């Protein structure tokens, strides 16, 4: 299965989620504004922190990926094979 | 002339290597290692690094780190063997002696690249559709092929095989591009400035915030490969520092937080559904994750659980924009 490649884990977006959906939840009310009883306050600092750290790690991994991808492209150009197929295609079209 | 020089250098290095081996028979093992590192390995590595620099190629950080271990022979040997693999002494010697023609310098550069690809396979596999083990296997085959490629046609065949491997490991379709990466990185760094207090305390937060601003500004002005490589190095050093200052995270607390978050999220989504608002299947997904959160998990399962939670929250935030 193909892994998600785009940068999908911006933790700050998650903080956006926390600040809307979960602030709503923290109000301990339902959609009609009726108070729910006995709902403990939601603490998300540790979770947010964990997501942020995961995203820093992900950015670092992606940096390694990009660096190798770019150097690979350069080597193919220097090795004279980067646009070989395009060249062959245009020749056959002619 | 170049060929003669290359042959002469190769012969000199190989002779020196053999002489040192003979001389080392009576010397203690660590002395052999010291002599080899000082006289052959380190000069060979410096030659290769100079060659890469003169080609404008990135110098893998593992190479400079290895060079810094010159004074610690045991560590140097262990790292060199793990980085370059078996027969690293001969390979270094041969590669250093064959960087004098542009064609050979390109092959050495490619081998250095492939070695770095194998060393970073685990990290690359987190973004690539190809698994780490498979990347290492592909690299081993390509390394063998590159060493056997002597004629122009053989080199061409090698580069065609490299192209196939590149297309699999770094697919264009749905792949990550520099532009997308830099855009995401800038956005993340900009917002991280506001969130850094969550990660670290007091003075560290202030000094790291300044570094963040600098990184963010530099990311905006990247236009070439060398600037990108320099930026990556600075970013990596910054990330390392940030992680070393980060407040410790307690997995048990995280799990408790995650359960509570999922419980509230699920209740909220149910409320939405009861009032006729479509939740796009998020109610069922949150219920399934909540069930998972209450089951015992090992470290690997915990990572999968957190990744699923992160993914769910991300998709919810996209479906219900906050602004």
Q: How confident is the model at residue A65 (pLDDT cuts 50, 70, 90)?
A: very high
Q: Tell me: the pLDDT tens digits for B171-217?
A: 998 888 888 888 888 888 887 887 788 788 766 788 888 888 888 88
Question: What is the reported pLDDT for B256?
Answer: 87
Are B159 and A79 inside 8 Å of each other by CB? yes
The CB density around residue B303, as the number of other CB atoms within 10 Å, is 12
B247-279 tens-digit pLDDT: 777 888 888 888 888 888 888 888 888 888 888
- Distance (Å, whole) CA B271 – CA B165: 50
Partners of A35 in the beta sheet? A29
Closest Cα in chain A to B261: A42
Question: Which residues, in sequence order, are CB contacts of B139 under 8 Å at separation 6+?
Answer: B114, B115, B117, B118, B121
- The answer to whether residue B306 neighbours chain A at the CB level (below 8 Å) is yes
- Confidence grade of residue A34 (pLDDT, cut at 50, 70, 90): very low
Q: Quick check: B124 contacting A, CB < 8 Å?
A: yes
| Top-confidence residue, B323 or B136 | B136
In this predicted structure, what is the pLDDT of residue A6?
33
- Pick B170's closest partner by Cβ from A2, A12, A69: A69
pLDDT at position B4 is 54
Query: Is B99:B148 a contact under the CB 8 Å cutoff?
Result: no
3-state secondary structure chain B: CHHHHHHHHHHHHHHHHHHHHHHCCCCCHHHHHHHHHHHHHHHHHHHHHHHHHHCCCCCCHHHHHHHCCCCCHHHHHHHHHHHHCCCHHHHHHHHHHCCCCHHHHHHHHHHHHHHHHHHCHHHHHCCCCCCHHHHHHHHHHHHHHHHHCCCHHHHHHHHHHHHHHHHHHCCCCCCCCHHHHHHHHHHHHHHHHHHHHHHCCHHHHHHHHHHHHHHHHHHHCCCCHHHHHHHHHHHHHHHHHHHHHCCCCCHHHHHHHHHHHHHHHHHHHHHHHHCCCCCCCHHHHHHHHHHHHCCCCCHHHHHHHHHHHHHHHHHHHHHCCCC
Q: Look up the pTM and report it.
A: 0.75
Cβ contact, residue pair A72, B113, below 8 Å: yes
Smallest Cβ distance to A5: which of B58, B175, B313? B175
Q: Measured between CB atoms, does B176 come within 8 Å of chain A?
A: yes
Mean pLDDT of B291-315: 88
CA dihedral B2, B7, B10, B11 (to 10 degrees): -140
- The pLDDT of residue A5 is 33
pLDDT on residue B13 = 52
Cβ distance B289 to B312 under 8 Å? yes
Predicted confidence (pLDDT) at residue B170 exceeds the cutoff of 90 = yes
Task: Check A46 against B253: CB less than 8 A apart.
Answer: yes
Q: Which residues of B touch A28 (CB under 8 A)?
A: none
8 Å CB contact of A63 and B236: yes
Asked if the interface predicted TM-score (ipTM) of this complex is over 0.90, the answer is: no
B158 has pLDDT over 90: yes
Are A80 and B249 within 8 A, CB to CB?
no
């Amino acid at each position: 299965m193909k892994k998600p490649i785009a940068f999908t884990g911006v933790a700050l977006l998650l903080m956006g989620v926390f600040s809307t959906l979960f602030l709503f939840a923290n109000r301990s009310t339902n959609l009609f504004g009726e108070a729910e009883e006995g709902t403990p306050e939601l603490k998300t600092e540790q979770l947010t922190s964990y997501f942020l750290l995961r995203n820093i790690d992900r950015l670092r991994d992606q940096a390694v990926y990009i660096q190798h991808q770019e150097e690979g492209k350069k080597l193919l150009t220097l090795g004279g094979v980067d646009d070989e197929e395009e060249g062959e295609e245009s020749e056959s079209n002619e | 002339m170049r060929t003669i020089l290359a042959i002469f250098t190769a012969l000199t290095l190989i002779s020196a290597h053999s002489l040192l081996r003979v001389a080392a028979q009576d010397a203690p093992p660590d002395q052999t290692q010291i002599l080899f590192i000082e006289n052959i390995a380190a000069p060979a590595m410096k030659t290769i690094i100079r060659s890469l620099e003169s080609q404008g190629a990135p110098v893998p950080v593992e190479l400079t780190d290895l060079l810094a271990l010159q004074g610690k022979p045991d560590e140097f040997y262990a790292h060199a063997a793990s980085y370059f693999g078996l027969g690293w002494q001969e390979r270094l010697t041969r590669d250093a002696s064959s960087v004098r023609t542009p064609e050979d310098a390109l092959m050495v550069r490619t081998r250095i690249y492939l070695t770095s690809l194998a060393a970073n396979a685990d990290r690359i596999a987190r973004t690539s559709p190809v698994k780490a083990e498979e990347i290492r296997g592909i690299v081993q085959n390509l390394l063998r092929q590159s060493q056997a490629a002597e004629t122009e046609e053989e080199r061409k065949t090698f580069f065609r095989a490299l192209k196939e491997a590149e297309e699999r490991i770094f697919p264009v379709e749905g792949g990550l591009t520099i532009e997308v990466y830099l855009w995401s990185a800038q956005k993340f760094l900009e917002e991280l400035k506001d969130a850094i207090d969550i990660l670290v305390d007091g003075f560290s937060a202030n000094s790291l915030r300044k570094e963040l601003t600098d990184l963010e500004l530099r990311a905006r002005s990247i236009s070439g490969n060398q600037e990108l490589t320099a930026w990556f190095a600075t970013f990596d050093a910054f990330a390392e520092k940030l992680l070393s200052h980060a407040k410790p995270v307690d997995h048990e607390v995280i799990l408790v937080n995650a359960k509570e978050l999922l419980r509230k999220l699920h209740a909220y989504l149910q409320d939405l559904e009861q009032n006729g608002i479509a939740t796009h299947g998020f109610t069922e997904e949150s219920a399934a994750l909540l069930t998972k959160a209450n089951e015992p998990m090992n470290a690997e399962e915990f990572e999968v659980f957190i990744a699923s939670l992160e993914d769910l929250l991300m998709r919810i935030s996209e479906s219900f924009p906050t602004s």
